[in-house]
A and B are shown apart, each in its own frame.
Chain A
Amino acid sequence: MSLLVLGLVAGLAAVERKGFLQAMLSRPIALGPIAGLAAGDLPAGLSVAVPLELIWLGAVNLGAALPVHDALGTVAIAGGTALAAHVLRAGGLSGPALEPAVAAAAVLVCAPLALLGRRAERLVERWNERLYARAEHDLALGDADAAARVNLYGVALPFVISFLLAPAGAALAASLIPFFLGRFPAALPPLAFGFVTLTAFACASGAKAMRAAHAWVIYFLGLGVGLCVFAAAVMAGGRS
């Protein structure tokens, strides 16, 4: 049932991402928690949404250039994280390292789906050329209503592709990750720290995506000032 809901979420996100509205609802930061909720674990989806949003901050559709399919990757990773963590908890594993460790593993397993999604989008573009030909044909036959309506058929294929691929990725993560971590629970803390370094790298990726002169200066300034402020806040909290 969770996989079916994940499929629906992924399909609708694929449509929102390009075909309809584009209101950031298919960005990882919005989609991660929704996918987590669909798989029964909103916090898991939210935690993995943060690095994914920052890593793919520069994934934008400029002209004919196609970015990676961040929405497809996000649903698979967030859904896979929630489902795999559920299986491991049911198997008796727990602790603060569990969720980040599973999230890091889910990224390793499912992130290539975002690249596969980009390839699938090329196919969708070619398929849509047939829709163009169909609209011309309808118009030549004198049916202007049908020619105008053809546009809506374009949302079907992106929906179906994500509906199928995202739950497949989540299911793969939900079977591989518990299989591995159930046998090697000692891998939890290292993988959890891998998630921390992934998130740290994601921040760099987000800043790098901002193609502005001196963006690097502002990034390192933000990092330096932030370190001072947050460290001071932590120390003040420790004293009180």
Chain B
Amino acid sequence: MIGPRVRVPGGVLARCFWRSLFLQAAWNRRGMQNLGFAYAIDPALRALYREPERRREALARHLGFFNCHPYAAAAILGGTIHHEERVAVGLEPPGAPVAYKATLQGPLAAIGDGFFWTALRPLFGAIAAVGALLFGWPAVVSTLTIYNAIHLVLRIGFFRTGYRRGDEVVGAIARLSLPRLAERLRLAAAGVCGAAAALVAVRADVVPRSGSFLTAALVSALGYFALSRGAPLLPAAYVAIAVGVGLALVTHLYGSPF
């Protein structure tokens, strides 16, 4: 039987979004983010299903496997609430929200990982590091404020778009061209790292007569080649310290090698 369309109240939607920030709190290898998703959507299910049995059934279907990027998952959460509203009045079968989640979680995880984790966040991390070298902690605070303004605007926007447009959220996110933008951000981050290396070399005057400028520049270059050839990160970092210590000792005992 099809009833009148029901809407989850705005306050409940806000509560679901807030809870979505805990999406990975109990990440596990069997269900991954399932507990977080069930926790996030529960206020909406409570609003939609007044009968305890129907609410339990709805919560049970959201305890199934779920894994996505935590920011992009907000779109799926919004879209799933959209579908649950339709299930509640009989417009869709109970399996529809689960199918929606299953269809979107992979592609949105790829977009979220590729844009946020491997591009936007590293770029802001590199900018904050250079800012810290040049201007101290205020630069770090400013950089992180800008990052979070972008992150929260997109995260809230994903949730609203998912809720309002359901399946059409895919097209809305595709129009942002995040993968193409991510490639540019990665290149920018690499450039910022290069600038950071130059800044470190210019400031490398801790040990006089050690050829410190040239040493730092060489370590920046050779480090890249070593990592490209598969050198493990932490041992390579230890070697970098050892190179500096060794060179400074040689300099102290025998004068600058440069």
Report, nearest first, the 6 A-B pairs whose CB atoms are least far apart.
A222-B194, A226-B198, A154-B26, A197-B244, A204-B223, A201-B240
CB pair A20–B21 under 8 Å, yes or no, is yes
Which one, B32, B118, B193, B234, contacts A206 given CB within 8 A? B193
Q: A63, B67: Cβ atoms under 8 Å?
A: yes
B249–A190 CB distance below 8 A: yes
Chain B contacts with A in 226-243, Cβ cutoff 8 A: 226-228, 233-234, 236-238, 240-243
Which of B3-11, B82-90, B92-100, B208-216 is found at the contact surface with chain A? B208-216
The smallest C-beta distance from A239 to any residue of chain B, in angstroms, reads: 16
Measured between beta carbons, the chain B residues less than 8 angstroms from A150 are 26, 35, 39
A55 at the interface (CB under 8 A from B): yes
Whole-angstrom distance between the alpha carbons of A97 and B206 in the complex?
Answer: 7
Q: B77 at the A/B interface (Cβ < 8 Å)?
A: no
Q: Tell me the smallest distance from the CB of A46 to a CB of chain B, in Å.
A: 6
A177 at the binding interface (Cβ < 8 Å): no
Given the known interface contacts A29-B140, A128-B35, the answer about A200 and B223 at a Cβ–Cβ threshold of 8 Å is yes
Closest B residue to A150 using CB positions: B35
Let me know if B204 is at the binding interface, CB within 8 A.
yes
Q: Interface digits, A1-37 against B, CB 8 Å rule (1 contact, 0 not)? A: 0000000000000010011111111010110010000
* With known contacts A57-B122, A195-B241, A201–B223 Cβ distance under 8 A: yes
Question: Which of A79-87, A160-168, A208-216 is found at the contact surface with chain B?
Answer: A208-216
The majority secondary structure among interface residues of chain A is helix
Q: Do A151 and B241 touch across chains, with their CB atoms under 8 A apart?
A: no
Q: How big is chain B's contact interface, by range?
A: 35 or more
Query: Known contacts A148-B39, A196-B216, A218-B191; is A29 also within 8 Å of B244 by CB?
Result: no
Q: What is the minimal beta-carbon distance from B234 to any residue of chain A, in angstroms?
A: 6
Beyond A200-B217, A201-B220, whether A193 also contacts B247 by CB under 8 A is yes
Count residues of chain A with CB under 8 A from any CB of chain B. Answer: 102
Query: How far apart are A169's CB and chain B's nearest CB, in angstroms?
Result: 15
A147 sits at the interface (CB 8 A): yes
Which residues of A from 90 to 116 have beta carbons under 8 Å from B? 96-97, 100, 104, 107-108, 111-112, 114-115
Q: Is there contact, CB below 8 Å, between A57 and B206?
A: no
Known A-B contacts A152-B25, A198-B237; the reply to A218 vs B197 at CB < 8 A is no
Among residues of A, the one whose C-beta sits closest to the C-beta of B34 is A132
**Residue among A29, A197, A211 with most chain B CB within 10 A:** A197
User: B204: which A residues are within 8 A, CB to CB?
Assistant: 193, 196, 200
Which residues on B sit within 8 Å (CB–CB) of A203? Answer: 193-194, 196-197, 200, 220, 223
A-B contact pairs, 13 of them (CB 8 A): A46-B132, A53-B129, A132-B31, A135-B35, A149-B39, A153-B26, A190-B252, A194-B241, A218-B194, A219-B224, A222-B191, A225-B194, A227-B198
